[in-house]
Structure 1
């Protein structure tokens, strides 16, 4: 192949001769200068080269307080290099602007101190701190020089150009907590009654909707657990959020001070969240402005057996003392099939409404005080099984009534039982 217009020649010139401009008739290499190389193995040298280029371009040092992120990074890097690496030989070789000379260190240190305290120059102290930092090689050294080394001279803990976090005004002042309900006995009767009426069909379950109201005396089922709204905090006239705290009682003996909206949201999200629709009786109570707080907490009752079991004929004053959280009529309606009632019909002799006292505790204290009068007879049930009627006592009715009254008013410790006469006497 024949080439025309091109002159090929082998030159004896070296690469250095070419770069120096020899045999360059057209001046192509006139302005070409070799770039200075840096040590790629030392990141500080690379950073210093970037700082040199910044100074070449801007005729000033990079400002560590600049709003320009790139300049701020270079400024902080320069400050760190001056304070910690002023004797590094690799760094000194590339210090084209004499940034690491003693005079520059003093100028840089003075600039740092002046920004903190313009009227109190502490150049010598800063140089001393720099020298001290070079001798830190262990944790002990750090703690010994904590005042100087841990000082935030660069202001890295002062946030700038960062928007403040938006305050969540919807956050409640108090997070709901659950704790043991110490007066759960007041609500046992309500839960028992509710469950019984659900079985009887008097109460119904309804899926909770997002516009449902929550009122005192309501029952709900949340995550499989029944809860009861005992009270709702009063709403201030200035409170237009209508999100008061409530006292919720759970059937497992726990209570919570949950916010109304929190309960509503939890019920709405729960696929099995339900409201207990109470019957016409609850509607009537609402109309006449009565609530669960107006109802007795239970009843302590005294019963007489109408049966004629021969084994019990020896007892002249045979009475059963018990309590119920529901009505007494509901408790005794199956007496003929219940060994607790001697599998016989019974009649109500006396009963006490318990409003300020735990009916179950009142029953236990009464049984304990009359322990010597408890009958100890083994009976045979209709199924052929033996049983011991442990809530039946052979004691005059007047004595039982007096014991209940003394327990209720707190003076029972002043009395004792005369087991011979079956009467209560003062100690």
Structure 2
């Protein structure tokens, strides 16, 4: 692209009259005369349209530029401009005095401090609205996503049932029958009922791997861990797994043969609880079914602790629950009892869905549309070992003995 020279620049029309008259005339006299006549014509048309001359302080940019050019050219018009001035605008065009206020007369400038002492002694502008320090649209961090149920370590009420197991495992480690293998960081562990671990210097026995729950949208097991010092805890399996991989002294105690040394069924008088819960959710679809909709679950711990965090658990429909019935089990596998009850009442299973705290859609399978009395009847039959002799009629909502004569 060709670069412009000074001659090219001065050859262009000075539409706004920015070039000095002498310089323009010296280089392009005819062009200057033509520009002055054009300017006069523009101002004349403006005067005819608005009945006034253009204002140099106008908000309109075009009017402001026209006025700037006019008041620059009007004091020294060319002969051609005087001859063409049909409205006599040159005679009444005097450069207006600046109407802009002088900043030195501004009140803020007049009150400006004159020294550092004036600045530090003036506290009139230091007052502020203290409401900006109050949180109005967010909850305190201590109240955010804090579960009501935490896997705390508590005394084991029936530790006498497990004491012999810990003694036997200790002897088998000493004799070499069992090996204590180091748990590597990031190792994938799948604790099973009857497994032994060493955590924080204590032997930890997985007494139960029972009721499933949800965490971050994924199906999760809860464990019952009994420790060799007479305490127990009920963490989620993922939490227990993490505690092992983060403990540099953690060890997995090898199994004997094809399976665990002892499952929960072999522990004398091991007890569990069947519980029936009613949802207190205010969701209309659930609230309308409140009298007939029940959750059937089994836990080996305190039922109140199991349901304490119901409002954060999709298994409980993300809402508090009311326990309407409980039934104690003796010498039975908790996991098998729960599966048995769910299969027995499967024709009355409620099709529900709820979104967890991560927004994932969950379909809990532990809720049934039936009277609570039927669960109590089935629990008694399970304890007697005779549930297999009965059948459930969902339409009649009854449990009756099977007809074996056919």
Give yes or no for TM over 0.5.
Answer: no
Query: What is the TM-score when the length of structure 1 is the normalising length?
Result: 0.35
Query: What is the TM-score when the length of structure 2 is the normalising length?
Result: 0.37
Higher relative contact order (CA 8 A, sep 6+): 2
